[in-house]
Each structure stands twice: as C-alpha cells, then as structure tokens.
Structure 1
Amino acid sequence: MSDDKKSSIPSREERPAEGGSRAGGGFDTMLGRVMIDRGLVSDSELQQAINRRDLDPGGSLADVLLNAGFVTNSQMDRVRSEIESERSTQRIPGYKIMRKLGSGAMATVFLARQISLDRLVAIKVLPRRYSDNADFIARFQKEGRAAAKLNDPNIVAAYDVGNSGDHHYFVMEYVDGDTVYDRITANKRFEESQAISVANQVASALRHAHDRGFIHRDIKPKNVMITKDGLVKLADLGLARALSDKEAAEAEAGRAFGTPFYISPEQIRGKVDIGPQADIYGLGATLYHMVTGSVPFKGKSPSEVMHRHLKEPLVAPDHLNPGLSSGLAQVIEMMMAKDPADRYRNAEELLEDLALVDAGQKPRHAGGAIDIASVVSMGDDAENLAPVMASRANENRSGGLTILLIATLIGSVLLNLALLAFLAGNA
C-alpha cells in the first residue's frame, strides 16, 4: 500500500490526547484508540464508523459504533469510564501519564512519570462516578494515609494523595512485576521453597504494619506483588484499619469486610475486636492456595464460601499436595484455625516457624503437643520451648490422667457391685 493510500486512522503515537478539528474530536480520537487497543473493533470497522460520522456534522463516533452494532452498550460504558479516568489523570500536575496498568470496580491504575524526581510511579484514580460519594472518597484517602505511615521494603510505598478537579488520586511506588495470583494462574501452584519465601516476606510486612497499629484485612494473592528480582510487596491498603480506631470498628460492626476466599471467620461475623490474627488467617488462606493450587473453601456464592470458612473443617493442604512437607502443612493449619486464639499470636511467631520449616526442621509453635520424653532429653534447652507448646503438652498430659482416673473409678464401682452380688447370692 502506498503512503498516500494508508488508513487515515492515526497511530497510537500520533493520536492526540485532546483537541480535534470538530466538536468532540478529542474524545472521538481517544475512543478510537481505546477501541482498537482493546480489540473491540478492527481497523476497517473503525474507519467505516469514522467515514459515517464525518457525513453527519452533529454526529459522534460513539453513536455510530453503537448504531452499526460494532460494540455493545456495556462495552461502550466501560470504554467511556476508562477514557474519563485517563483524561482526568492527564491533568494531574507534576505527573506525565504513560499508560494504564489495570482497572477494577474501585479504581484505575496508571503508570506515570513524576516530573520533579524523574521516577516512575503508579497513580490510582477513583472513578468519577464516586466523586460525590463521601464514603468512597474517605476510604480512598484513608488508604493513602495508612500507606504513608508504613515504611517497609515489603510494603508498596505511598508518595502522595490529592485531587485534580473532581477526581481523587493516590500516587504510590511502581512495582515492576506480577502478582501471586498471576503466578498461580500460570503455574497452578508454587514450589514449597518459593511459597515459604513469599509468605516470609508478607509476614515481615505484616509484622511492620501490626507493630505500628494497622491491620490490612484483605490479604489475598492479588494483593501480593513480586518484582522481577523476587522482592515481595504487599499492596492495596484499601481496607486497612488502625487497631486503635474504635469508632471505625463500631461503625463496621456486623458487616463483613474482605474477600470471601481468604476472609477470616471473625471478619465474616463482623466482630469489633478484629486483630492481627485476621491477617494471619488471610495469609494462611493465600499460602494454602499457593501450595495446593486451590482456594481453601469453594462455593457457588460468596455467602456459601464464607459459611464454609465458619463451619467446615479445612482439608489438610498436604492431602491435596502430597509433596508438601508436614511442617508447612501444620503451619498453614495453625494460621487458618477457626478460633483466633488457636492461631499464631503474632507475625513474629509465624516467621519463626517458617524459618524452621525452611531449614527442614519441625515448627516450634504449630503441630500440637510435643513428645515429653524428648523434652527431658533436651535438658536445659527445654525451658526455652514456646509457652503455647508447653501449655498444650500439659493439657494433653492432664487430660490423659483424668481419663485414667475416671476409668479406675468405674472399674472400682463395677468390682464392688460384683462383690455385693456374690455375697447376696451366698446369703
């Protein structure tokens, strides 16, 4: 094809973000680009639509695409929303938008360059439809403020929170990598050593957050990012809450906040006193998914999944993945105990057990009662055992003594009854 006969559709580099020779030209140009980029229309279909639009001075490209049946109303609505978000970010002072990274129901994330520091950043933009919703705006700003108070290599850093016109944005560290969810989707499951490495880094991030009085409340594979160098970053503090924020806890009482596949039982019940153990449960469910390739509990609806979190026993992860070590299986089972009191008390204990399992040793806190004989042989080292394990050992030992005592009493009663019967028969 000769140059003078090439399609008049501008290339991605040539398409302007604003402007145009006709009313709505800027929007139509962006609309055409997005339609092509998303594969919703072909070059020839877009060119047909442009030609039809040009025959009607008052027409719009969107109307032509819809009337011609090239796209559906729902597809057009999604594209309009994306364009509005992209146009709004073009007006955020101090940043040059480069491309969209992803979008969800609550926000769209763009890759941008911070002009003053010449560094890549990610900008999260609240959809325009929520710009008048005080609750959504407050939650969005709360995420930024929470992230700004945390400074840990395993947590995505926050740089700025603000608004441009009626659009609210949150600037954060750009992570060049993928998520745990992406890797599960591609490979089904993680090797045990890789899973332990990821869990160890997330637990370290949780230790930092918990020590500073924050709980995440939405630990899941999509919120755990991995850089190309293997560094793990915990992301999305949208549901994070200060442990000291009693007002927020009371306001949220009775409502479940979290993702059904990974939510803790106390979050499902809407408990007021939710603590760090909820994050440990979420990480346990995430780790379970990583090493088995399956979520802990399945269901046809979110309510069914959450009901199973509350009531159904967990299928041991090493039953689904026989190659999994018993040590890691025990760690996961303790992380996902129904009762928070039966889980790790804090991330520090979890980190200790993960290190032991990674070294091929038995976990110190998980796995139930210990062998009393082995404790005796340890000598002075026995006093260093975790209180939780000693407590469980004592409980089991005292329980055994109780059963033995009851059995002895029953035997004595039966013997006496037999003796009385014998004497009565000989009277």
Structure 2
Amino acid sequence: MTFNNVDELEQLLVRLHLVEPAQLDECLSRLGPTQRQPADLLQALESKHYLTSYQVGRLTRGETEGLLLGEFKLMYRNASGSFARVFRACSIKDGRMIGLKLLRQRWAGDPQTVAEFHREADLCIKLRHKNIVPIYDVASQGDYHYLTMEFVEGGNLRDFVNIRKTIAAAEVTRYAIDMAEGLEYALTQGLTHRDLKLTNVLMSTQGVAKLVDFGLAADIDISGAGRNDDVRRALEYAALESSTNAPANDPRTDLFFLGGICYELLTGKPPYPRTRDRAERRRLGRYSDVRRIRDVDPNIPPVIADIVERLMHINPDQRYQSPTEVLADLRRAASQLGDVPANGEGASQSAVTGEVATAETSLPTIMCIESRTKQQNILRDYLSKRGFRVLMLSDVERGLNRLRTNPPNGVVFMGESIGDATIQAFHEATRLGQTADFITLVVLSEQQASWTSQLDQTPTARVMVQPISLRDLRREIHLTFQRQKSSG
C-alpha cells in the first residue's frame, strides 16, 4: 500500500495503533508548510521515537500488512533465520514488551509446516521454568503464524562470545548448570530441545541463562526411513543421531550440543567449523574429529574440561546419560571453582560482569538506555569488566519506570540513540535522583551539543558530549559517585 497524501497515512497509523492521535498532532504541528508529504511525517515521528526505524522502513515501502499482529505492534526485528523471524513487539493494551516469533512467508503456505509450528508451540506453552523462556500464546492472523514469548533483554551467548572471546570457567559452569536444569525440567515434561546452540541461549540482565526455541529449529530435517516422519530435528541433531544409531529425540544429543556450547565459551573457538554446507553438516567426522578442549587451551581447569569432553563423546553410551547426571558433576565443579550456582534470577551475578558472584559482592549497578544492539554490547562488555553490574534497556519510558520503582545506582542516557526524548528524560531522572539517591549521566552526540544549555547539571547529574572514549565515560561515572558520596 502506498500513501497518496498525509491524511491517508494518518488514518492508517491510528487504525494500526502504531501511534496515538496526540502524537500525530504534535508531529504535524512541527511540519512546515512545504513539509506535507507522508515521508515528512514519518521522519518527524521517527525523530520523536514514536515510530521505530523498522516501522518507518516498512511504511516507506508500503508494507503495512503484519505490522500489527493481534494486540502486538512489531517494533524491531531482533533475529532472522530460514524458518522464522523474531521481533520485539509491544502490546497496544498495556505497553508491555514481548518477543514475537513469526513463521516466514515461504513456510506459511506449507500446511504441514504451519501445523507443526502450532503443534510445537502448543507443546512448549506448558514449560514454566526459570531457565526456559516462556511462550505465552500461539496464534494466526491471515497468512501470519506467530507465537509470543518473554522478551529477554540481555542478548544471547553468541553475543557474549563475539564480545568477550572467552569466558571464565566458573562462569561457564554456572551457565551450564542453568542450561542443564532447563533441559532436566523439560525432560520431565516429555520434551527435548533439538536445536541447542549459542543463539538459542538467552541471558537475562540478572545473568541467568534461559533456553529458547524448544523444537522450533531454524534449519530442520524430516526424519528418514525407520523413523517417525513427523519428527523434526535440527540438521546437526539428525546427522549425529542417525550416524551413531541413537533414537530420534535422544536426550543425550542435547547433552552433546550443551558440551559444544561450553567448549566455545571456554576456548572462544567453535568445536567444529561453522558452515552452510548441508552435506558437511551431515558428515559424522565433523562431530567426531573435534580437537580435545585441553589441547586447545591447557589452562582450562580439568574439572570442567573433563565434563565437556564427556558431554561431547561421539558414542552416546559414553556421554552423560541425562541432564540430572551431568548436573551432579557441574555442581561439584562449581564448588571447586569457587562459584555458587544461581538459584533464581536474583541469586546470580549479572552475566555481563564476567566475574564470580559472592554473598559479599556489592557492585554498583549502572542502567544504560541505548537501543542500538552494537552499542549495547560495547557498553555492556566494557563497564561490566570494570566492576559494574550492567542493566541495558532500549526504551526510555521503561528506564524511567525502573528509576521510579527500583532504581539502580546510576543511569546513563545515550542521546544519539534516544533522540528528542533526551532532554525530558534527563530532567525527570535528575528530579527522581534527588530522593532516590542515584546518579545521572547523559552522553550527547556532536549534533546535540547545543542541548547542553538546556540541561541543568548538578554534582550528581552530568552531561558529556561526543567525541568521548569509554574510559572518559567510566572516569565520569566514578567522579560522579565520589561527588554523590561527598554531598551525602
């Protein structure tokens, strides 16, 4: 659908609940007499963060269908695979953020795939465990088939490896316990994962590993002769099970790939090369010729290296036989490595810190308001490695609500990401910080430098202007904490 004039665009935006009438009026009032084209209005709405760049891109191309699915408007595309795409979506009823997994259109016309998607989602809805991302609902709207689930803010383990390269043994052990506990619980419900990999392990901002996409493999294989043709498995799973005479959906196959995740977290290298070549992914030697982890890095503690090597034994009879069995060894390893496994989200040190949590640890928590994934990862990695717990939020209003209800020790607003909402957010945070005792920093872009005169700085509310280094930001955070302590 293309828009002939601004009026047509206005009607659509309101009908799809993408913006409120008051927001439209505000942006229309800012347009000059020569700025009356749909593109002008879209630009104004994006600059005020009433529409996201994803929404504006779709609207500009006339792709309006599917922007609102049920009660959820699509905000950003978070991930994309050959089977489905994952979006961050927002409820038009209560404003809550959720994850929305949408079956790709190339599969939407295949009745068998659609039925399987709904069946798998219906099975997984019953899973309720601290280490599994919950599915709330599965639904259809025309040719669109989707499920809704918890939106996990902290990224996935692939992000961690890309940024941090390697992760300490104690921390890896803690995540392995989280994953194994999720697998153990799912098995009691009659389910195996069937697509365990770095990108299917999400990390909460509290540092808890959560499994996602049980049975909803992104690259699937229909079982061959002698097996139930309804069984769908990730290609790697099918290759490993058929080559080792293991039954389909063998829980021990999940354990092999759990070992592969730990291998890469510890060494920074995948146990076998990544490839799109399906023939190579079916080859048994790809999985049997894995270099021993202690040869890759002799400094990895034997207690965890032994567990990884047993998890990845090519003979399923020589692996751990159940998640429960490996959990016993993982917990012993955690004790030896000086770590205490998380008992829930509040018990675990933030995954982004890269440090071992203890009962005595009291790290300052910094909340960063930044919507760009790359910048989120850079900030998270840098600050966490330098003694901060990091809470990353993309939405300004969610951040301000957090300041009102459960404030961290400090908040950093990234002005280039927030845009026009920066000034109001800074003023509101400064006001709240006077009674809630947290510090406020805003980092303006070079283009926003003139806003400095509109921002009232105090000893605990500071303004920085790009270009600055991450070291400059860290130094200012420390100085502001010192001023806070002196004034208190």
TM-score (norm 2): 0.53
Instruction: Sort the Cα spacing of 1:158 and 1:311 in 2 relative to 1 into closer, same or farther, 3 A.
Output: closer
Residue 21 (1) aligns with residue 5 (2): yes
Q: Percent identity?
A: 26
Q: Report the Cα distance in structure 1 between the residues aligned to 2:215 and 2:61, rounded to whole angstroms.
A: 24
Q: Report SS of the residue matched to 1:250.
A: coil
Q: List per-residue Cα deviations over 1:42-97 (Å, max 9, x = no partner).
A: xxxxxxxxxxxx9xxxxxx9xxxxxxxxxxxxxxxxx889978873132x232233
Larger proportion of helix: 1
- The match for 2:229 is 251
Q: Report the Cα distance in structure 1 between the residues aligned to 2:230 and 2:245, rounded to whole angstroms.
A: 7
Q: Is there any run of 5+ residues in structure 1 with no aligned partner, and where?
A: 1-16, 30-53, 55-60, 62-78, 362-427
Residue 298 (1) aligns with residue 273 (2): yes
Residue 231 (1) aligns with residue 228 (2): no
Residue 339 (1) aligns with residue 315 (2): yes
- The match for 1:159 is 136
Q: Report SS of the residue matched to 1:105.
A: coil
Residue 189 of structure 2, aligned match among 209, 212, 220: 212
- The match for 2:305 is 329
Q: Report SS of the residue matched to 2:265.
A: helix
Residue 357 (1) aligns with residue 333 (2): yes
Amino acid at match of 1:214: L
Q: Quote how far apart the aligned CAs of 1:215 are.
A: 0.8
Q: Quote how far apart the aligned CAs of 1:312 are.
A: 3.6
Q: Report SS of the residue matched to 2:119.
A: helix
Q: List per-residue Cα deviations over 1:166-191 (Å, max 9, x = no partner).
A: 21111111111111111111122211
- The match for 1:391 is none
Residue 253 of structure 2, aligned match among 255, 271, 278: 278
Amino acid at match of 1:294: K
Residue 141 (1) aligns with residue 118 (2): yes
How many equivalent residue pairs? 292
Amino acid at match of 1:89: L
TM-score (norm 1): 0.59
Structure index of larger Rg: 1
Higher relative contact order (CA 8 A, sep 6+): 2
Q: Report the Cα distance in structure 2 between the residues aligned to 1:84 and 1:318, rounded to whole angstroms.
A: 55
Residue 88 (1) aligns with residue 66 (2): yes
8 Å Cα contact 2:272-2:287 kept in structure 1 = no
Amino acid at match of 2:328: E
- The match for 1:319 is 295
Instruction: Sort the Cα spacing of 1:81 and 1:306 in 2 relative to 1 into closer, same or farther, 3 A.
Output: farther
Residue 123 of structure 1, aligned match among 92, 97, 100: 100
Q: Quote how far apart the aligned CAs of 1:222 are.
A: 0.6
- Aligned CA-pair RMSD: 3.9
Q: Report the Cα distance in structure 2 between the residues aligned to 1:88 and 1:145, rounded to whole angstroms.
A: 22
Q: Report SS of the residue matched to 1:359.
A: helix
Q: Is there any run of 5+ residues in structure 2 with no aligned partner, and where?
A: 14-36, 40-56, 218-222, 338-488
Q: Quote how far apart the aligned CAs of 1:271 are.
A: 5.2
Q: List per-residue Cα deviations over 1:309-340 (Å, max 9, x = no partner).
A: 46744322111112101111111111111121
Q: Report the Cα distance in structure 2 between the residues aligned to 1:156 and 1:343, rounded to whole angstroms.
A: 27
Q: Report the Cα distance in structure 2 between the residues aligned to 1:82 and 1:342, rounded to whole angstroms.
A: 57
Q: Report the Cα distance in structure 2 between the residues aligned to 1:323 and 1:158, rounded to whole angstroms.
A: 40
Q: Quote how far apart the aligned CAs of 1:145 are.
A: 1.1
Larger proportion of strand: 2
